[in-house]
A = this chain, B = another copy of it.
């Protein structure tokens, strides 16, 4: 029941980045649940990872290997290999080692990724048995199947792809993501893979990814839960005939950064649109904060309130629940009489109370929409923040009450 999420856009291949998909049958026989990605030699690879203290075994290994010029990524769904202790690390390594042996590269150049149930040991043999088929399947135009291969409770594959010109050269940025539940700032059960054929030094690439994630993946929330496995990887293969970007400046740098931001934003919003049980895509904007953090505190208080989320599900313009959430967001010395709230263009709260011209019909009309903007003005300063979230539906409860069965 994804909100405003259609078929994948045209997924432009990225020279030097290949994807292969195979079936390991981890949760269901025949399901294509293993994806291998190969980066051309000389690629730069950047990564951002979950801040959960219980980060999963593959995340621990990925972080260790970012400076080892990674060449291969291997992803499995159905099992998160999280909270699995030393055995989990050994299992992730065993998968990596098998892949390294098959392709003849050092273990340190293989990055593992897992998503699925937490706390069960990784079925290593099932995964390694699928690696030859995944390698045989490696192709630059395999993005769409890979987008399906990394899905868990997602209902639709998620992808984004943009191209831009630099002189006579057409550059490409293409990416895929998966999400659906356990989504909140600081990454989520969210996996994202973005590749470009531009050439970028590892340090600059890491900064671009960090900024892009902060504007996209770190501004979405479905249920407030932060997963143990979130990872987002950005690869620059350097196959396009342009100079290597080694400094965060210049026309090419700016154009590339903009393209990557755009892809990251589309991938992040796609995760929200396909949030577990989502029937609404909700943008929460907070303006006029004294600083960035208080804008985020208010935005997340609103986005995480089960009472607001159920009202959104019910298309009920229950603005009282919104002001209550603003009130408990912990803003120091909040002058409630300065607070205004809009649903799209309809002012529902002015100066801390129900707006005089507001009618329930106006609010109800906005709430009927599948996409809703909640705009909050604090009138305390000039900072603003935007996050994206969903409603809380019967379907969310059903999915998460039944997930392991």
Contact = CB atoms under 8 A, between A and B. Distances in A.
A305 B354 contact: no
Interface stretch (A47-55, A134-142, A241-249): A47-55
A164 interface: no
A314 B402 contact: yes
Given A54-B336, A310-B397, A401-B314, A224 B83 contact: no
Given A83-B349, A352-B83, A327 B55 contact: yes
B401 A82 contact: no
Chain multiplicity (copies) = 2
B396 A82 contact: no
Interface in A281-325: 304-307, 310-311, 313-314, 316, 318-321, 323-325
A83 B328 contact: no
B52 A324 contact: yes
Name the residue in A119, A120, A323, A331 with the highest tally of chain B Cβ atoms < 10 Å from its Cβ. Answer: A119
A108 to B, nearest CB: 24
Main secondary structure of the interface of A (DSSP, over half): loop
A398 interface: yes
A53 B353 contact: no
Interface stretch (A12-20, A28-36, A206-214, A225-233): A225-233
Given A83-B354, A306-B396, 20 more contacts: A53-B328, A53-B334, A53-B336, A54-B324, A54-B352, A82-B324, A83-B353, A84-B354, A85-B337, A85-B353, A118-B324, A182-B324, A226-B324, A227-B324, A306-B400, A310-B397, A311-B400, A313-B401, A316-B403, A396-B397
